[in-house]
Amino acid sequence: MPKKVKLIKCKKCGESWIPTDVPTKKEWPKVAPMPSADGSVTITVMATWDCPKCGKSVMGAKGKTKGEFKEEDTKKYKIEHALNTGEKLDLEELSKDIGVKVDSLKKIIPMYIKKEGIKGKIDGNYFFPDK
């Protein structure tokens, strides 16, 4: 049985249409702040349309999808894990690995040192843990 599609309705003239039938002006993703009990995250694609009858701009949901959320995939987890290995870190390699600039890592790591009690120092493009 096909999924029920929610129609987009113009508040000015009452015209309704299927979200994929009328071209959108703008689209953006909206991610749920918390994963569900099974670990999936709802991602809603929001969009704006011009009403085909009266031309009024209308905003609504174009579609929804669920994706699996894994903490191991987050940048925060990858940085924390790398710092907790107790080994010398090449910040350039880590930056390529997680998609963060080296300069940003040099700002983030001191926060972890202060807040999480991680012992070590940054020298050049390397992090040296205290042993």
Given this model, what pLDDT does residue 2 score?
A: 57
Q: Are residues 52 and 14 in the same domain?
A: yes
Q: Determine, yes or no, domain membership for 1.
A: no
What is the rounded CA–CA span in Å between residue 106 and residue 103? 5
Range 19-23 average pLDDT: 90
Handedness of CA 15, 20, 22, 23 (dihedral sign): positive
Single out the residue in 69, 90, 108 at which a domain terminates: 69
Position 84 in a domain: yes
Q: Specify if 4 maps to a domain.
A: no
Structural domain span for residue 109: 72-129
| 63 and 14 within one domain | yes
Domain finish residue from 23, 38, 69 = 69
pLDDT digits (tens, 9 = 90+) for 34-92: 877 777 788 888 999 999 999 999 999 998 888 765 666 677 788 888 888 888 999 99
Residues 64 and 79 in one domain: no
- The number of distinct structural domains making up the chain is 2
Residues 91 and 79 in one domain: yes
Encoding tokens for residue 39?
A: 């670990």
Residues 6+ away with beta carbon under 8 Å from 91: 102, 105, 106, 109, 122, 125, 126, 127
The answer to whether residue 117 sits within a structural domain is yes
* Structural domain contains residue 31: yes
* The pLDDT of residue 73: 66
- The pLDDT score that the predictor gives to residue 111 is 85
